[in-house]
Chains A and B, each alone.
Chain A
Amino acid sequence: MISKLQITNFAAFKSLELNFSPRINVIIGENSCGKTQLLKLIYALSSEQDITSRLLGLFKPHNGKLSGLYHRGGTGKAKVELTESSGQISSAEFGSRTETAKRESMFTNVGQSIFLPTKEVLSLLPAIQKKSITDDVLVSLFDDSIIDLCRILLSKPDSDLADAVNNDPRLGQIIPMLVDAIGGKFQIDGNDHSFVRGAFVEKMNPNISKAKNAKVYADFKQLEFKKQKSSEISVTMTAEGFRKIGLLQRLIDTGALVKGKTNVLLWDEPESNINPALMKLLVECLFELSRNGQQIIIASHNYVMLKWFDLLMDESQEDHIAYHALFRDESDDISKESINNYKMLSKNAIAQTYSDLYDTEIERSLGSVK
């Protein structure tokens, strides 16, 4: 779990400090305010790998050089520092012309972070698994966040999906929700990647009577996935929004989101390609993961998603959201407003868009009256 990020002279940021909620953090702001850069930086700093190659692989700066990540117009060194909730610090610095970053300190024995980029990746998995594309081609096509995620998704599940459902009460609630929403699940069986139609149904225990089973059901629901016969279709033929849900299913399936395993879940625009009707479900799932102890940081452009976060937050379940709005200040530097109540955000570019739409609608309707 991370608590603080401090940035000086890095990429879009001259100077920025963010304090994170241990539960859910939502970064909002207009395009080119550096939302994705923040997520990638947290991802890079929470890794134990060589920081220079991490930064270059994730950001792919101009000319492939670290100097491309130095903040234009900055003076002094670029410094980035991430603080973990136990007090550990991961930090690095580099000059405007240096080619390698100096790692000052790093986390040890802290779980990996997971970064979910905007790009849909499930459809890439078969080709990557079969090694139809070489690593060199892969690296030239995608940044490291996509390649890393594909590898996590292809890793062998710790336990099968049904076990994950039945052994973790929280995840147990999420998986049937996801399966219900898209009418089935994505599965990887050896080299076979497919979407299978079906639903979770109550698992009957053959050793006890139906009446007894009803009592057990009330205490602890045992569920199993029932697939529809011959309903497999290729992943590419499913709707892209469904693949987003499938991504979450697969992450749970591989055990990546089991309590305490992942340091922080970073998700760039979870809303992309998601039908607004599925948005509520996605937010509910994120809340459930957060209630399960998973720290989450998302970057979002989307009013519907933000509004669902605002409306579904339940203080009695200790839900907590920190909203971090990025904006350009009077000197054109990126600044932030961090607040715990959505309605109190004054620098809300997304809500402002609706406000502009509303003004324009009224102007069009009443323009001739005045």
Chain B
Amino acid sequence: MTRLIEKDLGFNFPNDVTAFQFDDDAIHGNSTMKRVDFILEHDDCYLFIEVKDPDIPAATEQNRAEFLTDLQSGKLLNSLSGKYRDSLLFRHLAGKNDKPIDYIVLLSMSSLDPAFLLNKIDALHREIPLNHNSWSVTSARSCVILNLEQYKNQFGENSVRRISEGDI
């Protein structure tokens, strides 16, 4: 089991998967390349995971309001797409672009409903973009925004926990 932490969220990844913190200055040095938080290497694909946690208990009302403003203005999607593209370029130049990539954004904001998230998924597809008329391959095999509940549905009840709540 590999354990990785992003602020108040603790992640457990299975042993048969290589998981590491990609957003780490030790890897990137002074480069201004944007980075997704984690990269997971499966046998048949890579997972890029970016964590956004506005529901973090320490967040103030103002933090949440700012987050929503960024989400609505497109600033957040712009940042999410930039992180994906830069990470993809980094991995490509590192010779690690040999399997399909799924991009997963974990967005812990329980007040957002599925219709809203669906809409943002479509917007993120366009923003990255996943396809282009001049490309013979897609930039990612898939790209989704999961809320905490969906993340647990996909990867197991114990795949993520809130550290401040003392969950194991």
Contacts and interface: CB of A to CB of B under 8 A. Distances in A.
Interface of A: 303, 307, 351, 354-355, 357-359, 361-362, 364-366, 368-370
B115 A368 contact: no
A365 B155 CA distance: 14
What size tier do the contact residues of chain B reach?
20 to 34
A303 B115 contact: yes
B47 A369 contact: yes
A365 B122 CA distance: 12
Given A361-B121, A362-B144, A362-B146, A368 B45 contact: yes
Given A357-B114, A357-B118, A362-B150, 6 more contacts: A303-B115, A359-B150, A361-B121, A369-B45, A369-B47, A370-B155
B91 interface: no
B117 interface: yes
19 contacts: A307-B115, A351-B113, A354-B115, A354-B118, A355-B113, A355-B114, A357-B114, A358-B150, A359-B114, A362-B150, A362-B154, A365-B142, A366-B102, A366-B142, A366-B154, A369-B45, A369-B47, A369-B102, A370-B154
B143 interface: yes
Nearest to B140: A365
Interface string B90-125: 000000000000101000000001110110010000
Nearest to A354: B115
A180 B45 CA distance: 53
Main secondary structure of the interface of B (DSSP, over half): mixed
Interface string B142-168: 111010001000110000000000000
B7 interface: no
B114 A358 contact: yes
Contacts of A364: 142
B42 interface: yes
Given A366-B102, A369-B45, A369-B102, A361 B118 contact: yes
Contacts of A369: 42, 45, 47, 102, 154
A332 B101 CA distance: 46
Contact of A365 (B115, B117, B143): B143
Nearest to B144: A365
A303 B118 CA distance: 13
Contacts of B141: 368
